[in-house]
Chain A
Amino acid sequence: MNREQSNKLLPLVVAAFLLVVMHASVSAEQEEKKATPNDTATAHYVGSETCKTCHEELYTNKFERTPHFKTTLKDGHGCESCHGPGSAHVEGGGDVSKIISFKTMSRQDTNAHCLSCHGEKHEHRHISSSAHSSSDVGCLDCHSPHNAKEPEHLLATAQPKLCYGCHASAKADFGKPYHHRVDEGLMQCADCHNVHGTTTLRQVRALPTGDAVCAKCHSDKAGPFVYEHVPVKTEGCGSCHTPHGSNNPRYLRVSQVNLLCLQCHSFPAQGPAGPGHNQSTKYQACTMCHAAIHGSNASNVFFR
């Protein structure tokens, strides 16, 4: 195809794309109208005991055992706190179109329901600006209020399997022989990532000082030091390390430390000087001498 043909086709492609988007929008509006019954606006609350008459199995064996049951206490509406007033649903003989059903609701509407109670928690403050939200990953993709396999946070599946369902590369990384102990249960994905959103990239948690969350456990690397190693502070741990798993025993990006050091320490004109040691005769690993490579209080070349 030559350039002229391409130029003729481009408006057609753009127009086709816009048509698809418009059609999808209209369809979505129509479906959402169907999924969000108008009847709930005029309906009134009937109380959880009424719901229980038909949904006893769900109520007794599931809902009643979750923290959400507390919505029935005091002036709460129980089931109707989330599903909306149920009188029209009851009067309609259980007509599912007359009550809020999350199975057919869009991600943003579902989130809005959940966040009406949970939105002010510190953990959830950036959810609308999170990478998950803009990728159409919503509350119910991970949480299952009625059928949770993990009761504490009502997760559909416990971590890390839940996260591996989408993040297949993370599963492979943690399968490497050198990895953080996530599969072993010592750590959880949520220890380092706030899946509900942060202002950092990759939804990585940060300490109040702005440092990476790594320093919470690896506190000896946090400093401040009298002599800071530049990339540790300017680029972060990920400049040299791959935290999920690595082919290097110390989780380095490359398998042998000398190459990693040389890639920065090569030319005085372009950065810090190189080692000048004859690599064939000694100094197999730079860190043998530069043992305090994350920062030192006594050596500007990180010897101690």
Chain B
Amino acid sequence: MTSMSFRLKRLLVTAALLSLSARAQNQGNANQTQSQPEGWEGYGYVVHQSVDLGYRANDITGSEQMYNTLVNLRSGPRLLDQSLTMQSQNHDGTLFDNLFLNSFGWGGDPNNALRLRLDKNKWYDFRSAFRRDQTDFGYNLLANPLNPPTSSPNIPATFSPHRFATRRRVSDFDLTLFPQSIFDVRLGYSHNNMTGPSYSSVHEGTDALLFQDWNTTLNSYRLGADLKIFEHTVVSYDQFLDYYKGDTDWQLAPFAPALLPGGAGTVDLGLPINTGNKNPCAINAPATSLIDSTGTLTNLTCNSFINYNRVDRSRTSAPTERVSLHSTDIRRLELSMSYAYGSADMNTVFNELFNGFQSGRNGSPNTRQSLVTNTPGTTTGATRISNVADFSITAHLTKHLRFVDTFRFWAYRIPERAFFNEQDWTCSGCDLTTPISGTTTGGSIPETADQLSFNQSWKRNESDLVWETKHVGGRIGFRYGDRTFHHILDFATGDEDRIVVHDYTPLLGVWAKPMMSLRFNFDWEHTNGDDTIVRIGPRKEDKYRFQANYTPKPWAVIGTSINLWNGSNDDVLIAYRGHNRNYGFTTSLNPRERFGIDLAYNYNDYQQNTFICFNDSDTTLSVVANAGSCLANGYNDDGNPLLTNGIYTSKTHYGMASVMVKPVSRVSIQAGYSITSVGGETPQFNVLQPFGSLQYNYHQPLAMVSVDIGHHLAWNAGWNYYQYGEKSFVGPTDPRYFHANNATFSLRWAF
């Protein structure tokens, strides 16, 4: 790392001395000095191309896991950016009139994209995109058991037990034939594939780390047609088919391995290692640790895993049909409506094997092995039947007054079917060394789902009266919502949850434009609901939004906004309160080609609060010491006796500034800085639990220099700095702090 650092500094100093231009990550080509060339003409087209080839160099100090999670730019050569445009000189090319192609990130960057558009006037319009994103996620507090150092053995989880190194590749292809005729045809296909190693966990007595070989694919096919039945009336039909394949496998991954006595193999104790709390089991005296100095397990009745694997092959076929109509043929009336019917059918093949030791509770026998499979001759899965209808009408009552009504209906029902057989091999007075032949099994026992259908229907209608002139306008309206949630657990006994929610929302908006370059907007709405489906769904909501935008010149954009949201639920057993208060401004001034400045600041104050009951024995924690009694206050939850206000607050400051200057026509320099600074409060339920991302600073300064060296070439150099630091204690894991320098050097050729 030291030599790397030296090399990087040398490169940077060289770049500064030469006053060469920089091109920093994420800034595109906006500040490059190179003027757009005239292009070249050939084959009847005007052609513009650009290629940006470069090299990235990194210098990372601190947590590489976090660097990969947040930035993930690695060293190496890159094709940073590429573009090609071809436009027919007479706008009547042989194969196409226009072609736009651009892509970026080739050669190892975590984000690659390629976008292509081809069109030929009345014949076709083709759009395509390929996107690949690479996620190397390793935030080490995610699903971390926070193993205490007092445990014996002491095995902290220094990495994220749930971590990912996955790649998602998404391709979209859409072709419209005869786009300007009275009858056009639309064809489309999308492919979404996510693969890669990742880790998860499973609970069987204790929690084992699992290797999760991620593999999911979604293929989407689209076919549609539009028929213009009158001059401004179009009827459309679309058929969609989504086919999803879930082929992810899970298997045991070692975290805390121990030997079984007598060379009987190895066993894994799982992620939570807290012997003081008997996780995964207590230490049997005279031993002083679960694992002795030879690496052998000292308690053979410990919850643990010898083997685990799971296969869950799910296949979902989801055809959807949609008809729609759009018309503006009736004078003063705009009409748009659609209806879609879909029926998704999912089937799964499930197989799960657990081999190890699960201690029996309350006198029940211990489990040495279990196997869960689909019941032969049955299919396990779910079906979703969905109906979606929407309707919007705009009636222009006068030149300045219109009535707008928007209606949306969405209903689905999901009948579920689960037919599994579970076979357990159990034993009493046995241990991990007991062979399966020494256990008893009741054979394969059928199990069926305890949920049978999950249904919801949702209707929403909004009616607005909109009045507007050239300089002032507004709207007054009312939104009505009606939701029915119906969860059927047992058809025979009538065991079901049924919740009906109505909500009523008056809304108001006004805008004023004293001059064409200045606009003020104010919007307000208040929602009053008579019930909620989830506890943190507010019954009452208020939203206020104020915006001002001033564009005195095409090169000057000044904006400010205030967004306020308040939500509440006064149910005495919930007492939900939430708010989000956001204040911001943004300024972009580029008065001359040689000078530009961008400034932005935003402050966000978020709160989410509701009564919660919980179980905690650590009276040194203030949330425990100050907790009330759930039972004494009418909450019948024996398992969670403590009552508190579960208040979460987060205050976020964001600021950025960027200055671009061109001291001479061929050189441009940009310097910028952005910071996100976050503070907040949350109940601390565990003394080992760091506040993590509740309180942090994230700094991102950058500098760029770009030099037009002639012959359509620009030499660019850029420097980005990233520094992430949390403000609370680290916890029993690796620190998450990092800072990194990222230098990018490139040569851009535009011709």
Chain B min CB distance to A259 (Å): 6
B433 at the interface (CB under 8 A from A): no
Q: Which of B344, B473, B617 contacts A209 (CB 8 A)?
A: B344
With A224-B316, A276-B639, A280-B616 as given contacts, are A256 and B689 in contact (CB-CB < 8 Å)?
Answer: yes
Chain A residues with Cβ below 8 Å from B687 are 280
- The verdict on A128 contacting B394 (CB below 8 Å), with A165-B588, A276-B615 known, is yes
Interchain CA distance A16-B706 in the complex, whole Å: 57
Contact A247-B121, Cβ < 8 Å, known A287-B143, A289-B203: no
Interface-located stretch among B13-21, B194-202, B254-262, B661-669 = B194-202
Task: Indicate whether A263 sits within 8 Å of B612 (C-beta atoms), given known contacts A255-B693, A285-B144.
Answer: yes
Give chain A's interface residue range (CB within 8 Å of chain B). 35 or more
Interface string of B526-544 (1 = CB under 8 A from A): 0000000111110000000
CA distance A230 to B451 in the complex (A): 12
| CB neighbours of A283 from chain B (8 A) | 145, 272
Chain B, Cβ-Cβ closest to A270: B573
Q: Choose from A69, A161, A279 the contact partner of B616 (Cβ within 8 Å).
A: A279
Q: Is B456 an interface residue (CB 8 A)?
A: yes
**What sequence of 0s and 1s flags, for each residue 221-232 of chain A, a beta carbon within 8 Å of any chain B beta carbon?**
011111110110
Instruction: Please name the residue on chain B nearest to A35 by beta carbon.
Output: B470
B28 in the interface, Cβ–Cβ < 8 Å? yes
B390 within 8 A of A: yes
A180 CB, min distance to chain B CBs, angstroms = 10
Partner of B682, one of A31, A217, A255: A255
Q: Is the CB of B454 within 8 A of A228?
A: yes
- With contact pairs A168-B561, A199-B408 given, residues A226 and B417 touching in the complex (Cβ less than 8 Å): yes
Whether A256 contacts B682 by the Cβ 8 Å rule is yes
Contact A225 B202 (CB under 8 A): no
Q: Which residue of B lies closest to A186 (CB)?
A: B111
Q: Number of contact residues on B: which range applies?
A: 35 or more
Shortest distance between the CB of B472 and any CB in chain A (Å): 4
Q: Is the CB of B418 within 8 A of A226?
A: yes
Contact check, A135 vs B509: say whether CB atoms are below 8 A apart: yes
| A interface majority secondary structure | loop
Residues of B within 8 A of A106 (CB): 468-470
Assembled-state Cα–Cα distance A288/B146 (Å):
12
Of the listed stretches A7-15, A19-27, A40-48, A85-93, chain B binds A19-27
Q: Within the complex, which residue of B216, B346, B584 is in contact with A169, where a contact is CB–CB below 8 Å? A: B584
Which residues of chain A in 182-207 are interfacial with respect to chain B, using CB atoms and an 8 Å cutoff? 183-187, 199-200, 206
Q: Which 10 A-B pairs have the closest CB atoms?
A: A276-B639, A28-B469, A172-B602, A168-B584, A280-B618, A279-B685, A172-B654, A28-B470, A219-B218, A255-B694
26 A-B pairs whose Cβ atoms sit less than 8 Å apart in the complex: A20-B472, A28-B470, A70-B121, A125-B324, A128-B394, A129-B406, A175-B654, A181-B111, A199-B392, A208-B342, A219-B192, A220-B216, A220-B248, A226-B451, A227-B451, A248-B693, A255-B694, A259-B683, A262-B614, A266-B610, A277-B615, A282-B145, A287-B162, A288-B145, A288-B203, A297-B382
What 17 additional pairs, Cβ within 8 angstroms, besides A129-B404, A247-B693, A255-B650? Answer: A128-B334, A168-B585, A168-B600, A169-B584, A176-B698, A185-B104, A210-B412, A224-B416, A226-B416, A255-B693, A263-B612, A276-B640, A279-B615, A280-B685, A285-B141, A287-B142, A298-B372
